Amino acid sequence: MSLDLVNASPAFILGIPLLFAFLTPLADRISKELRDAVFMIGLLLTVLFVAVMSYEVFTAEGWAYVFGAEETGEITRFSFFRIMFVADGFAALATITVAITALGAGIYSFAFMEGQSGMEKFYTLFLLTLAGVNGMILTADLFNLFVWFEVTSIASCGLVAFINYKGKSVEAALKYMFISVIGGLFLLLSIGLLYGEYGILNYFAIAESVNGGVVDRVALSIILVVLAMKASSVPMHMWAPDVYTESPGAVTPFIAITSLGSLFVLFRILFVVFRYSVSTAALGGLLIILGLLSMFVGVSMALKQSDVKRLIAYLSVSQIGYMLLAVGVGFSTLENGDYATFGALALEGGFFHMINDGVYKALLFLSAAAIVYSTGTRNLNKLGGLAHRMPYTTMFFLIGGLSIAGIPPLSGFSSKLLIYKSIYLYHPILAIIALVVSIITFALIGKVFYNAFLGPDLGLSKGEVPTTMLLAMGILTAVVVVFSLFPNYVVAEIVVPAVEALGVTA
């Protein structure tokens, strides 16, 4: 592979899913097998370029890819006026998370969506969502961010409504579309404010200009709230359980990853654009408040759920809280000596938890989809004894569930250990709250596991799900196991470069 191809890999990470998104309907006109093959090739090529970009970032150094530059990788004074993509440790961490989830959801879709009409549209929407999330993560241009935000929202709304059952998925998609449009318009307003003030849209150029004035503060507030809403942070989380519950099971983790993508973008903007113009202690405090609310409200609402997907959706909201809390603690220490003591550790814990959460949450949603596929119900009051006929799904759910609950030796424990340790040093009460939320999460996973999988065989299940669905869950399980067994390696090679990419050093 030539050097230019490596340097242009951020562009390929977007270009390939965009190209293949529109190739799949054409391939469908020839044969369904070709359509499926084209979709899979597009997905695998995207994953390959994520791997190429990440390998280059981890072994050499990050770079900025400027569209339209005369030479690839060249940064001139005009670069800030062009669309710039950033390939650094943070982008690598985020795109790896998205790629793993997309691969799992994509493979899972083959069997899960079999028999559905209009599958060429499904694959188009899937690949457009993938391009949109990666675009949001990679771009360093505010207006370009808005474009990818809209692409992601529109495509994922289509995915949510793809299988219509009694109008419920359409209702969920409508809610998602409406809240995303409102959020998108607010985002555009904040971008307009910054552009009107400084006449530029590049993150790094704006970072040199912002001075903490009224316009900056209004723009910061709007961007923070919109991206926190998209990340399903409490109290703007209510769309998420509706959407995660009613979307087709195969794409639920993929919809959830768009939320995680928004969180990545929020952290990138806070660290790169606003870090030097605001009080990081106060802004970190705001993230901590949102994090605590998300953790506690998410897990509390999960207690009252008897729908397996809705319960996991609320646990997902709760996990977003851990990331906001950890990064909030890290961000709040940037201006004082505590960063070296525990701030860096909090950021590492938060970012490690993001990649862990992306993977085990996908595994849990796919396991829940397998339950629905095999039994036709999501109702925990009706389920029971599935382990008799679905042993592999039982094992996959158990691994994902123990990981989200932070039970050793699984990956969720490693990242939560870093978070507990660091936030304890910030304030012990935060660590106590985080521990309590973890214990309730464990109890809830126990509830689902006991309800759905244990007990006598009630004869609900048609048997184990098809092989491709097991393969998808198996891949995600393998990733969870690798992250569980080698947390030091993951932190040192993937997470620490992500922290350093945001320009913070101990």
Partner 1 sequence: MIDIILKDMWSPIAFILVLVLTALVAYMFYSLGNPAYKRTKHKGEPFISGNAPPKDVRLIHVGGDNVFWGFTHALRKYLDPLVKGHTGILNDYVYWMVITMALVLIYVYILI
Candidate list 13, 50, 102, 179; residue touching partner 1; CB under 8 A? 179
The residues, any chain, with a CB within 8 Å of residue 241's CB and separated by 6 or more, are 301, 310, 313, 314, 317
> Which one of the spans 10-18, 106-114, 341-349, 389-397 is the region binding partner 1 (CB under 8 A)?
341-349
Residue 307 CB-density burial (10 A; 0-12 exposed, 13-18 middle, 19+ buried): middle
Candidate list 3, 5, 182, 436; residue touching partner 1; CB under 8 A? 182
Position 174 contacts partner 1 (CB under 8 A): yes
Position 451 contacts partner 1 (CB under 8 A): yes
As measured in angstroms, the least distance from the Cβ of 236 to partner 1 is 5
As measured in angstroms, the least distance from the Cβ of 419 to partner 1 is 10
Candidate list 380, 404, 431, 479; residue touching partner 1; CB under 8 A? 380
Position 406 contacts partner 1 (CB under 8 A): no
Candidate list 17, 62, 135, 183; residue touching partner 1; CB under 8 A? 183
Residue among 396, 391, 389 at smallest CA distance from 457:
389
Q: What is the dihedral of CA 242, 245, 246, 252, to 10 degrees?
A: 110
As measured in angstroms, the least distance from the Cβ of 220 to partner 1 is 6
- Return the number of the residue (179 or 256) whose C-beta is nearest partner 1: 179
> Which one of the spans 80-88, 107-115, 124-132, 485-493 is the region binding partner 1 (CB under 8 A)?
485-493
Structure tokens at 286: 């705001």
For residue 453, the one-letter residue type is F
Residue 152 CB-density burial (10 A; 0-12 exposed, 13-18 middle, 19+ buried): buried
Residue among 116, 112, 392 at smallest CA distance from 250:
112
Position 166 contacts partner 1 (CB under 8 A): no
As measured in angstroms, the least distance from the Cβ of 269 to partner 1 is 14
As measured in angstroms, the least distance from the Cβ of 30 to partner 1 is 41
Per-residue DSSP letter, 388:
G
CA of 420: how far to CAs of 273, 285, 311, 346, 471, in Å? 28, 17, 24, 8, 34
Position 167 contacts partner 1 (CB under 8 A): no
Position 369 contacts partner 1 (CB under 8 A): no
As measured in angstroms, the least distance from the Cβ of 24 to partner 1 is 32
Position 279 contacts partner 1 (CB under 8 A): yes
The residues, any chain, with a CB within 8 Å of residue 435's CB and separated by 6 or more, are 420
- Asked whether 318 and 294 are in contact (CB, 8 A), the reply is yes
Candidate list 455, 466, 474, 503; residue touching partner 1; CB under 8 A? 455
Position 414 contacts partner 1 (CB under 8 A): yes
- Return the number of the residue (124 or 477) whose C-beta is nearest partner 1: 477
Position 283 contacts partner 1 (CB under 8 A): yes
For residue 117, the one-letter residue type is S
Position 458 contacts partner 1 (CB under 8 A): yes
- Asked whether 240 and 317 are in contact (CB, 8 A), the reply is yes
State the DSSP string of 93-122: HHHHHHHHHHHHHHHHHHHHTTT-S-HHHH
Candidate list 457, 462, 467, 478; residue touching partner 1; CB under 8 A? 457
Position 325 contacts partner 1 (CB under 8 A): no
Neighbour count for residue 117 (Cβ, 10 Å): 7
Alpha-carbon span 68 to 342, nearest angstrom: 42
Candidate list 236, 269, 326, 390; residue touching partner 1; CB under 8 A? 236
Position 188 contacts partner 1 (CB under 8 A): no
Q: Coil, helix or strand for 202? A: strand
Residue among 288, 324, 301, 311 at smallest CA distance from 361:
311
- Return the number of the residue (19 or 238) whose C-beta is nearest partner 1: 238
Report the interface residues with partner 1, using CB under 8 A. Answer: 174-175, 178-179, 182-183, 186, 212, 214, 217-218, 220-222, 224-225, 228-229, 235-236, 238-239, 241-242, 278-279, 282-283, 285-286, 297, 300-301, 303-304, 306, 344-345, 348, 379-385, 408-409, 413-414, 417-418, 421, 443, 447, 450-451, 455-458, 484-488, 491-492, 496, 506
